[in-house]
Amino acid sequence: MIASVTRIRSGESGPGRAVPGTTRRRSDEAYDAIYRAIVRCEVAPGEIVTELQLGERFGFGRAAVRAALDRLSERRLLRPMRRQGYCVKPITLRDVNELFELRMILELGAIRLAAGRVDEASLRHLDSICSQGYKPGDRESEARFLAANSEFHLVIATATGNERLVSFLAQTLSEMERLFHFGLAARNRTDEMRSEHKALMEALIAGDAERAEAVTREQIVTSKAMVMDALLTSSTLLDASISPAHRSAWTE
């Protein structure tokens, strides 16, 4: 089951993957390194960066960095700024609202279809990994935790037998990863999520769709509150410009 989820997720947007038997270009490696730093908020939302700074930070030449930044700009994670460099896409309240709204729609639908059909062994294995927790602010431990948590939810979605649903949910969780890193750095939710996972597994295994839906809804609401709390106490957000010119640059 986990292998099936990984196969479905292989098409999601994110760091580039090498084709077996080929040599990866330096620009691909630069893209992966910068993308990972943006998603993990190691390069802060709203920060201004330059080719020279990023090349020195990650150890790549100007040509490789320029190609990587062009790709990241196409994905709207960066915005070129004349004579200044690039602005990292801010995390906006619109992003938070839209992504959590989409996740609510996708997951509640998946939960109802998956109740009584889940792969119990896969869920318990992934839950045991999530239960190991993470260290707030340690991006590597946060990334491992988030990967296991995403797989946990995708295994549930896979039980629906609808690969398109799994693909859409995988894409949504991938886009939300930056929000989660921002929120997880503020406080440790390991114990809360352990309890949420346990309640959700019990309901799904028992085929109790109503209970599973209620647990999932509460979990999504709690996750959103965590992200919102982090945003509202962040100096990055508190000091951000909300002028019309600033807003239109990211909404055109």
In the predicted structure, residue 15 carries a pLDDT above the cut 70: no
CATH 1.10.10.10 domain residues, the chain:
25-88
Average pLDDT over residues 229-245: 62
Second-level CATH architecture of 25-88: Orthogonal Bundle (1.10)
CATH 1.20.120.530 domain residues, the chain:
92-235
- The pTM assigned to this predicted structure is 0.81
Average pLDDT over residues 79-103: 93
With H, G, I as helix, E, B as strand and everything else as coil, classify residue 251: helix
Confidence of residue 24 (pLDDT cuts 50, 70, 90): confident
Question: Which contiguous run of DSSP H or E holds residue 41?
Answer: none
Average pLDDT over residues 116-142: 90
Close Cβ partners of 134 (under 8 Å, ≥ 6 residues apart): 141, 142, 144, 145, 184, 188, 190
Second-level CATH architecture of 92-235: Up-down Bundle (1.20)
